[in-house]
Structure 1
Amino acid sequence: MNSLTSKLPPIGTLGPFVALLLACVFFATQSERFLTSQNFALILQQVMVVGVIAIGQTLIILTAGIDLSCGMIMALGGIVMTKVAADYGLSAPVAIACGIGVTTLFGLINGLLVTKVKLPPFIVTLGTLNIAFAITQLYSNSQTITDIPDGMLWLGNTFRIGDTAIVWGAILMLFLYLVVWIALRETAPGRHVYAVGNSPEATRLTGIATDKVLLGVYVMAGVFYGIASLLSVARTGAGDPNAGQTENLDAITAVVLGGTSLFGGRGIILGTLVGALIVGVFRNGLTLMGVSSVYQILVTGILVILAVATDQLSRKGAR
């Protein structure tokens, strides 16, 4: 029995998948519209922005950090890429590069403050959250930008498989998860991310430049926030200065529900995808049941507390 148990995946890995399956079974009994391919395609579309933000958030949390600024950095990236296209007539690729460049720069700033100044990630990203919000409002004059070239909207277009319309942005999100999963699992830099999260000092003593790993993680997170900016613009068809105000908490929720430990060093990126889908399934299912959005937020909060409590108990049990 012990040998069989040792071969099974840890409960922290299985838990998110089981929770997603149970949620789907429950909502399937509550609404006949839930178990349709069109509805599942809609859920993917609804979670694609937060899902991509959560990739960057996962990388940071794996190193025992946290990024509270991710949502507002994403919003700033969306405003930059749409406004420079609208004001200066830049082509879509150049405008997109400008937006991703700004989000990457913010990731670099976060990383430098954490690694060089040795400030806590919570404080650093709380500060850059407010800075990004202020710059977004000032640069956009708090106005939504709608004069956007078609090249920035193509990820919001759909293709059909049978009667189901699937948005291209959701396919990009799934592809990014696959790439990051392979990178974390099969490459030395990916293993270094886990090592830094487990024990920065022990990792440093093995000759790994922990500051470079951390800085690289924050910069890569900024890149993913920029990609999420593009997905947000493609989905809404506008650069919205008021976007990103809840995406930071939604991304952290997805990471936690996906089984990644807030203490660093443990978790899988595909679990974050499942965590994002759990949030999407609950909100979609409760909407189909006619439940108020207030209760959807309540349920999400309960799920986060349960996930963190499970992580804490599993850590105590491992000692």
Structure 2
Amino acid sequence: MTTHVGKPTPPTAAGDLLERPATPGQRLHAVLHRQPALSPAIVLILAGVVFALLNSRFYQLQNLSLIAQQVAVVGSLAVGQTLVILTAGIDLSVGAVMVLSSLLMSKLVFDNGVPGVLALLAGAALAVAAQAVNGLLVTRIKLPPFIVTLGTLSIFTAITLIYAKGQTVSLPPGGFLLWTADTVSIGQLHLTNGVLLMVALYVVIGFALRYTAWGRHLYAVGDDVEASRLAGISVNRVLLSAYMVAGLAIAAAAWILVGRVGGGDPNSGLNANLESITAVVIGGTSLFGGRGVVLGSLIGAVIVQVFDNGLALAGFDPNYQVLSVGILVIAAVSVDQWIRSVKA
């Protein structure tokens, strides 16, 4: 009796053994890794739907105008914070630098009669110089960014209080520094020039991060310092430039703040440091550096204001606004940890 032996199956290629069909979780992981702003955008859309159902006034143009105006200061600060966090650092002093810069601008005009343009340039120079101090302490003395900016937070806050002598400065209407408070109306949508300045800031920095060598170097340094150094990137120069460009964003936020409060107030922006970090983290930028987009920080800043505004319109206790932001921060960091993990 003849035994028929089946034709042997050809050996499977090594590539076939390694390539497995991606699971839905893996596909989601890959999409979120490529698009850091996607997850906060989804949160923003869902929040908008929920709050519109809770109160029909949420999507009225007057209310949207209010949200945009409330975002302008923190949103501008978040640009500078994003640049620092992309390098795997953190800046706890951005709010204090902003307030000091805004006070200098206002007092130069009010006390010394300096033209508004020159006062703005002086405030911007101060903000850049303050951030240069942070950058030099990080790059030259090799101190951790958290410790450096925690210390300069106290220093800049003290300088502001000493300089202000406990007094606020109210500027007369119509001056150049109050230009950011002027309103541009599109039907029932009323946007201040400060909002438009913030949007322009995001466009410029977003373009620089995506299409310039400086932006690519910034991401590379945040992702792996040693590999960047071996690739010929001047790591210290890139880190210092990140802090100094952040100073320009802080100066823009200071100008918007002057327009919002009508001058200089040493007690304004008390929570701006944490609010800027919150916006960046919720916006999908990794606290470990090297991943994130500046647009996500804008979305994060809008999310915080949308939750504050939507919960207020729905009649919730203000404490729930604080609670919601805390939950969002923890959720955002958890998602970031998952995205950074090795795919299964």
Which of 271, 293, 312 does residue 268 from structure 1 map onto? 293
Code of the residue aligned with 2:108 in structure 1: it is V
Deviation at 1:162, TM superposition (A): 1.1
Which residue matches 2:323? 298
Which residue matches 2:195? 170
Which of 181, 184, 187 does residue 159 from structure 1 map onto? 184
Which residue matches 1:126? 150
Code of the residue aligned with 2:176 in structure 1: it is G
Alpha-carbon separation, structure 2, partners of 1:8 and 1:314: 9
Alpha-carbon separation, structure 2, partners of 1:71 and 1:243: 9
Alpha-carbon separation, structure 2, partners of 1:189 and 1:141: 41
Which of 238, 251, 255 does residue 213 from structure 1 map onto? 238
Which residue matches 1:244? 269
Matched, 1:103 2:135: no
Matched, 1:285 2:310: yes
Q: What percent of counterpart residues are identical?
A: 49
Instruction: State the SS of the aligned residue for 1:261.
Output: coil
Alpha-carbon separation, structure 2, partners of 1:179 and 1:210: 23
Instruction: State the SS of the aligned residue for 1:33.
Output: helix
Alpha-carbon separation, structure 2, partners of 1:248 and 1:254: 10
Deviations 1:47-90 (A, max 9, x none): 10000000000000000000000111101011110011111100
Deviations 1:101-149 (A, max 9, x none): 1111110000000000000000000011000100000000011111356
Alpha-carbon separation, structure 2, partners of 1:63 and 1:192: 10
Instruction: State the SS of the aligned residue for 2:321.
Output: helix
TM-score (norm 1): 0.96
Deviation at 1:2, TM superposition (A): 4.3
Which residue matches 1:196? 221
Which residue matches 1:82? 106
Instruction: State the SS of the aligned residue for 1:160.
Output: strand
Deviations 1:256-303 (A, max 9, x none): 001000000000111111101100100111111222322211111111
Contact 1:72 1:243 in 2 (8 A): no
- Aligned pair count? 319
Contact 1:76 1:132 in 2 (8 A): yes
Aligned 1:59-74 pairs, distance under 5 A: 59-74=83-98
Structure 1: state its 5+ residue gaps: none
Which residue matches 2:73? 49
Alpha-carbon separation, structure 2, partners of 1:164 and 1:177: 21
Alpha-carbon separation, structure 1, partners of 2:120 and 2:262: 14
Matched, 1:140 2:141: no
Alpha-carbon separation, structure 2, partners of 1:13 and 1:232: 26
Instruction: State the SS of the aligned residue for 1:166.
Output: strand
CA-based RMSD of the aligned residues comes to: 1.7
Deviation at 1:233, TM superposition (A): 0.7
TM-score (norm 2): 0.89
Aligned 1:20-31 pairs, distance under 5 A: 20-31=44-55
Alpha-carbon separation, structure 1, partners of 2:207 and 2:171: 38
Alpha-carbon separation, structure 1, partners of 2:190 and 2:37: 31
Code of the residue aligned with 2:42 in structure 1: it is V
Higher deviation after alignment, 211-220 or 145-154: 145-154
Alpha-carbon separation, structure 1, partners of 2:40 and 2:31: 15
Matched, 1:184 2:209: yes
Code of the residue aligned with 2:312 in structure 1: it is T
Alpha-carbon separation, structure 2, partners of 1:74 and 1:292: 30
Deviation at 1:3, TM superposition (A): 11
Which residue matches 2:13? none
Alpha-carbon separation, structure 2, partners of 1:267 and 1:12: 5
Alpha-carbon separation, structure 1, partners of 2:291 and 2:199: 21
